[in-house]
Chains A and B, each alone.
Chain A
Amino acid sequence: MYRLALNMLFGDRAKLAMLLCGLAFSALLMAQQSSVFFGIMSWTYTPMVNIRAQVWVSDPMVEQVNDAKPLRDTDLGRVRSVDGVAWAAPLHTSFVQARMEDGNFKLITLVGIDADTFAGAPAVLTQGRIEDLRLPDTVIVDEWGAALMGRMTVGPDGKPRSIPLQVGDTFEINDIQARIVGICKVKRAFTGGPFVYTTYDRAKGYTLGARRTLSFMLVEPQKGVTPAELCDRIERDTGLKAWTADTVIWSWGERSLARNTFWWFWTNTGIPFSFGTAVLLGLFVGIAISGQTFYSFVLENLKYFAAIKAMGAGMGVIARMLFVQAFTAGLIGFGLGAGMAQGIGRVMIEKGMPPFVMYPQILWATFALVLGISFVSALIGIIKVSRVDAASVFRG
């Protein structure tokens, strides 16, 4: 019977196309918007990705990685003395204005790393060497920042164009020269400012007047000590807050700074609401279009279902037929929608904007919601068919 049910569905190509359009559009909207949402949210903990360390130590009041509450430099010594610490390095992060050669200002994320160990340095340099940061007034700028902060000039066609900053170019931070000795590749941040790396001591100089400049401490556990264990010891011995660098936001690790940052933005900003609205819209559009199309498919076939009922098919058989039809359409619609979302995502990833992260969980959730839409559609049809009197087939 199921084969015939599918043939009934595929036989009406116009209705099937409409049904698949509704389901695919719904799946696309839900998967694509969710992926952009998680992409944007993944930007919120970008420093955790760009500045690599197993354990981060902060002021106890810190809630998320973008909200550094400066520590005393002496806290570094206290952390280094905790049993299980292999090494601990200072880290400065702050948002400051950079003044470009043409007089323009740009907001940057200044990152000061330990000059001895380069702990927290960017992993990939496309130009220059990390060691050159030890030279006076030097910085390393990320690729996107180099393009954003580029020098404006006039092209051969007479139109203004920006030339990305290169090694050797300079700009100023608080009237102090910053000379570029390297270009690095890092992940972009939610706050929008390019990452500008320098040494911790020089960062102190760039942030004139700041009494405390130690934002975080990057800590490496000794062999045999897990990051979570070390966090416990640091908190117990120093009263500071210690975090693991785990960036899997789905995990339940209370100690993950990335996860806490993610949920801080979730609860303290309107981002989930706006994207949630779009996802809900996708769901409602799916239910409306697919439900209505499937209902009209059932209405068109109502007299045939009545005939089948008269011929002795129970409602169980007919309900299973309708479920098979609805779920098959849902499966194909999901495939089309998710495929389109992947395609759009690929383009977005190539362009870098907007951020796009399609977790497997997003696909599973979208799949479940599309099946939910199919279930509702089938249910509406089943209710309609169950109310049809089998005797109606004798009334012409």
Chain B
Amino acid sequence: MSHLAHTVALRASGVDMFFGTQENQVVALRQADFEARRGELIMLVGPSGCGKTTLLSVIAGTLTPQAGSVEVFGQRLDGLGQEELTAFRRKHLGFVFQSFNLIPTLTVMENVMVTLLIQGRPYDEAHARTLAIIDKVGLKGREESRPNALSGGQQQRVAIARALVHEPPLLICDEPTSALDKDTGGHIMQLVRDLSRSPERCVVVVTHDHRIFRFADRIAEMEDGRISRVVDDPKLLDTTHL
């Protein structure tokens, strides 16, 4: 096995995804190829409707492509049934959503614990691990607060804690800074980068926010349902159409 094979965290090859019937068919992904490496924070950028969210859903196993293959940390997703995909997500994936998706009637503590309780971890263990991650994201003392008592930045910190509390190899972030101001967005991305710096982890961020491009190790640009180019330096991107 080559050195490169060891470094690949996820690989999508020749992925086709379309919605609707034949007459009104919308092509979301067309022979899309995408690759992310271990220990890397990679951003998926592109204009609205280019297929970023669809590709993210395919990688996350919440959408099954019509063609192509997806491999995440050595696990092929094509051919897995719904239950296996659900189990895969539970174990290997962490999610940070655009609108946080924190349950308003639960406390910070409970919102973070959800991830571990879904995995069937005992309550006491989940409690201890949750306290530790809340401390890491800088929210110590706010464990019993409800989400609506927190600022946008604090809510996104809770979402990050929820996504990482079970230490998943793949962290998927969907527009994590779109609801935040520049400074808060910068702090959140710094936190994501710090927490995800591990050779056993990979972070994929879908974003329109060019202010956070500097946090990426690489940036993959999408156009018309496929990756058009991948750059190491954000300055090489033309951000006018993003």
Interface residues of B in 143-188 (CB under 8 A from A): 146, 174-175
Interface residues of A in 366-396 (CB under 8 A from B): 389-391, 393-396
* B62 pairs with A391, CB closer than 8 A: yes
- A contact patch SS: helix
* A307 pairs with B105, CB closer than 8 A: no
* B90 pairs with A4, CB closer than 8 A: no
Contact with A along B79-118 (1 / 0, CB 8 A): 0000100111111010101110101111100100111011
* A311 pairs with B118, CB closer than 8 A: yes
Contact partner, B103, options A10, A304, A395, Cβ 8 Å: A304
Q: Which residues of A contact B62 (CB under 8 A)?
A: 310, 389-391, 393-394
B45 within 8 A of A: no
Q: Which residues of A contact B101 (CB under 8 A)?
A: 303-304, 307, 393
Cross-chain pairs A/B with CB under 8 angstroms, 11 sampled = A4-B110, A7-B110, A8-B103, A11-B105, A301-B103, A307-B95, A310-B62, A312-B87, A312-B93, A391-B57, A396-B98
Total number of B residues with any Cβ neighbor in A under 8 Å: 35
Closest to A16 in B: B105
* A8 pairs with B98, CB closer than 8 A: no
Q: Which residues of B contact A147 (CB under 8 A)?
A: none
Contact partner, B90, options A303, A311, A393, Cβ 8 Å: A311
Closest Cβ of chain A to B146, distance in Å, is: 8
Q: Which residues of B contact A391 (CB under 8 A)?
A: 57, 60, 62-63
Interface residues of A in 3-19 (CB under 8 A from B): 3-4, 7-12
Q: Which residues of B contact A1 (CB under 8 A)?
A: 114, 117-118
Known: A8-B103, A391-B62. A312 touches B56 (CB 8 A): no
Q: Which residues of A contact B103 (CB under 8 A)?
A: 8, 301, 304
Q: Which residues of A contact B89 (CB under 8 A)?
A: 310-312
A312 to B123, CA, bound (A): 18
A314 within 8 A of B: yes
* B90 pairs with A313, CB closer than 8 A: yes
Closest to A389 in B: B62
B7 within 8 A of A: no
* B104 pairs with A11, CB closer than 8 A: yes
* A393 pairs with B97, CB closer than 8 A: yes
Report, nearest first, the 5 A-B pairs whose CB atoms are least far apart: A11-B105, A312-B90, A391-B62, A307-B101, A312-B89
Closest Cβ of chain A to B133, distance in Å, is: 15
Known: A7-B105, A7-B106, A394-B56. A311 touches B95 (CB 8 A): yes
A303 to B88, CA, bound (A): 21
A396 to B52, CA, bound (A): 13
A312 to B88, CA, bound (A): 7
Closest to A8 in B: B105
Q: Which residues of B contact A8 (CB under 8 A)?
A: 103, 105-106
B31 within 8 A of A: no
A190 to B91, CA, bound (A): 69
A396 to B56, CA, bound (A): 13
A317 within 8 A of B: yes
Contact with A along B44-73 (1 / 0, CB 8 A): 000000000100110010110000000000
Q: Which residues of B contact A389 (CB under 8 A)?
A: 62
Contact with B along A9-47 (1 / 0, CB 8 A): 111100000000000000000000000000000000000
